[in-house]
Amino acid sequence: MPKDDFWNIENISVRRVEPLRKVGPLGSAPAVPTRPASEKPAAMPAKPASEVPEALTMLRYAPENTLLDEVKIGRWPSHYSFYEQFLGYARNYFDFCPGESEYLPFFSFMPQYQQMTRKQLCYYGWWRENLREGRYLRTDYCYILLYIYEVLNLPELLPPERGVRELALLWANYREEFPRLDKYLAEWLCDYCLIHRQPCPRDILAPFLQKILPNTTLREFYLPAAGGDAESSAAALVELNASYQFRLSKYRTEETRELFEKHIPAAMTAFLTEMGARDPRFLLSRGSEPITVSRDSYVGAVCAFRNKRQITVTYRPVVTSGGLSPIITDAVKSCENGVRAALGIRARFRVTHLSAGMQTIIDRYFALHLPPLSPKNAPVVLPDGSVLPEVDESAYEKPREALSAEAARQIEYSSRSTAELLGEEEDDELTLAPAPVETPTPEKVADATGRELTLRALRFLLLGDEEGLRALAESQTLLPDTLVGRLNDEALTRLGDVIAEQPDGAHWQLIEDYREDLTQWIKELEISTTNEAN
């Protein structure tokens, strides 16, 4: 029977057109072996997730300044070779700098050097040269992936400490345009840092760290609660819960960045520390039991066998309370309000989820460390350039001394002189003025002596006889007020107080407290008057 070629699918499958390869100035490039279009990369051997066997362990360490307890790095158990070519190309093209080139789009499901045309390669080189110098030109997603693969596969050419920062900067600068980067770099960067014992570049990732956390399987690597101190814990809580990023504030400029970076985290630390003392839900807590997870490095990336690793991580996962997000978000906004006030920026966030007590904590921090910069609080500079000091209350505080009954007694005794000083009598006794010399008339009451006048006035006062008092005053060419005033003067000397007052402002009355004293006084005057007469 003749061979049935009906089922020969090669006759019906689409032939892939091989791109043109030229060897120009890149004469050093090796001959590029072509690969049949039908050839697909070998699938990665399926491997159950398990801890790195001791035999394969290359490195074991306890990372510093992370929430991870232990990291074990192991060799990849089964060898493969399908990315060796990529590695070769990457090494050869590592220093390729073609100069300025025109942008050309590039797409591939698994970007590799051999898939690019010459112009694409030139643009890639130009773009990479600028990237390495901190300039982020227009690019395509596949160029970015290619570069990432390069970094992951060439630790011997690009030192990891630099590789971490380049990956992080790349991510920071292109993630807006290519959001898919979050999904991959969240894992690949973590793997890269763990493999090469590099710290997480939080300073670069900080503006979008919160967005990373939901995308990563190992958020404990990214969380800043590394030192276990209040600042780290607070920062972690903010990263986990705040939906507002103060680092993206339009008021955070080159000039103001320092204030933002210094005071907002510090204020949040103060806030969360105090709130944590009141309610444990505000504390960053970790699970009591450690867990161990294994991960394959660089999943989905082009990675040569020699760079592929198995990673085993032991850690205690972070636990947070749900529902904190609106509070912490508003707290961050309130902190930014404090910084804005200090900068003299009028615009403020409206915060609605903070209670009065919570707001007070934040206000207290800023009042102490960064008061509003307004004419009200600006330092006052004198014409000679010196600054007028604030109120110095130390001069008004009470002296610190031990309580002593004896000392108190001495103070009380010595203070009696004050009472004597303030209650001193006049040296000249106040007496009523002697009656003027005048021609006696039947209408006038005869009275030759001051004592007699006092006696009669006191009698009228005792009896409440205001008319009598008035007539007596007139007989002495005195106003009633003056006569009573003189009685009061005498009473002040004798008794220490006045004896008559005008409760209604018009009529003089005896003060009842002194009725007895007045009676006694009258008796004494009567006796002395009688004795004189005798």
Partner 1 sequence: MDKGTGNFNDKRSELRIPRRILGSLLASVSAGVVPRSGAAYIAIGRTDEIEALAGDLERAAEGEGGMRFLIGKYGSGKSFLLQLMRAYAQEQGFVTADCDLSPERRICGSKGSGVATYRELVKNLATRTCPDGGALPSLLSKWLSDLRSELAEEGITPDTAGFRLALDGRVHQLVREMEGQIGGFDFARVILRYEDAYEMGDDEARSNCLRWLRGEYTTRTEAKQALRVGSIIDDDNWFDYLKLLCAFVRAIGYKGLAVYLDECVNLYKIPNRLSRENNYEKLLSMFNDCLQGRSPGMTMVLGGTPQFLEDPRRGLYSYEALRSRLADGRFAQNAKGYKNLLAPVIRLRRMSDNELLALIERVTILYGQYHSCEPRITEEEKQRFLLRCLDRAGADEMITPREILREYLTVLDLLLQNPDAAFADIVGGVDPTPAGGGSAERETDDFFDLPELKI
Interface of this chain with partner 1, residues 380 to 439, rule: CB under 8 A: 380, 382, 388-399, 401, 403-405, 407-409, 411-426, 433, 436-438
31 vs 387, beta carbon nearer partner 1: 387
Cα 28 from Cα 89, distance rounded (Å): 11
Rounded Cα distance between 183 and 17, Å, is 32
Minimum distance of partner 1 from residue 269's CB (angstroms): 17
**Least CB distance from residue 515 to partner 1, whole Å?**
11
Calpha distance 46→11 (Å, rounded): 33
State which residue, 302 or 358, has the beta carbon closest to partner 1: 358
Instruction: Show contacts with partner 1 in window 315-334 (CB under 8 A).
Output: 321-324, 326-327
88, amino acid identity? G
The smaller minimum CB distance to partner 1, of residues 6 and 413, is found at 413
Instruction: Determine the distance from the C-alpha atom of residue 400 to the mean position of all C-alpha atoms in its chain, rounded to a whole number.
Output: 35
Residues 6+ apart with CB under 8 A from 119: 101, 102, 104
Shortest distance, CB of residue 228 to partner 1, whole angstroms?
Answer: 22
Least distance in Å: CB of 142 to partner 1? 42
DSSP E strand boundaries for 166-302: 285-286, 291-296
Least distance (Å) between residue 453 CB and partner 1: 13
* Size of residue set near partner 1 by CB under 8 A: 78
Contact present, 139 and 110 (Cβ < 8 Å): no
In the complex, minimum distance from the CB of residue 495 to partner 1, in angstroms, rounded to a whole number: 5
Near partner 1 in 160-189, by CB under 8 A: none
Q: Which is nearer to partner 1, 181 or 328 (CB)?
A: 328
Residue 388's SS3 state is: coil
Three-state DSSP at 153 gives helix
Considering beta carbons, is residue 11 or 414 the nearer one to partner 1?
A: 414
Please state, as a whole number, how many other Cβ atoms lie within 10 Å of the Cβ of residue 86: 21
Interaction between residue 279 and partner 1 (CB under 8 A): yes
Q: Whose Cβ is closer to partner 1: residue 305's or residue 514's?
A: 514
Whether 177 contacts 141, CB under 8 Å: no
Looking only at residues 344 through 363 of this chain, which bind partner 1 when binding is defined by CB under 8 A?
353, 355-358
* Minimum CB–partner distance for residue 238 and partner 1 (Å): 16
Residue in 514, 522, 525, 529 binding partner 1, rule: CB under 8 A = 514
Is residue 375 near partner 1 by the rule CB under 8 A? yes
Q: Which is nearer to partner 1, 65 or 360 (CB)?
A: 360
Please state the closest distance from residue 527 (CB atom) to partner 1, in A. Answer: 21
Candidates 511, 522, 525, 529: give the one binding partner 1 (CB under 8 A). Answer: 511
**For 305-420, where are the E strands, in sequence order?**
309-315, 318-319
CB 223 within 8 A of CB 240: yes
Residue type present at position 463: L
Task: Show the binding pattern over residues 463-492: x = contacts partner 1 (CB under 8 A), - = does not.
Answer: --------------xxx-xx--x--xx--x
Least CB distance from residue 468 to partner 1, whole Å?
Answer: 18
Whose Cβ is closer to partner 1: residue 270's or residue 358's?
A: 358
User: CB of residue 401 vs partner 1: minimum separation in angstroms?
Assistant: 6
> Smaller CB distance to partner 1: residue 407 or 448?
407
Under rule CB under 8 A, residue 24 binds partner 1: no
Cβ distance to partner 1 smaller for residue 20 or 391: 391
Q: Quick check: 288 binds partner 1 (CB under 8 A)?
A: no
The CA–CA distances, whole Å, from 388 to 70, 379, 380 equal: 57, 7, 5
Which of 503, 461, 512, 516 shows the shortest CA–CA distance to 483?
461
Could you say which residues in the range 257-276 bind partner 1, by CB under 8 A?
275
- Is residue 248 close enough to count as binding partner 1 by CB under 8 A? no
**Residues comprising the chain, all counted:** 534
Please tell me the distance from the alpha carbon of residue 309 to that of residue 196, in angstroms, as a whole number.
11
C-alpha distances (whole Å) from 466 to each of 14, 435, 498 are 135, 20, 17
Mapping DSSP to helix (H, G, I), strand (E, B) and coil, where does residue 173 land? helix
The residue among 243, 419, 239, 264 whose CA lies nearest residue 337 is 264
Secondary structure (3-state) at 487: helix
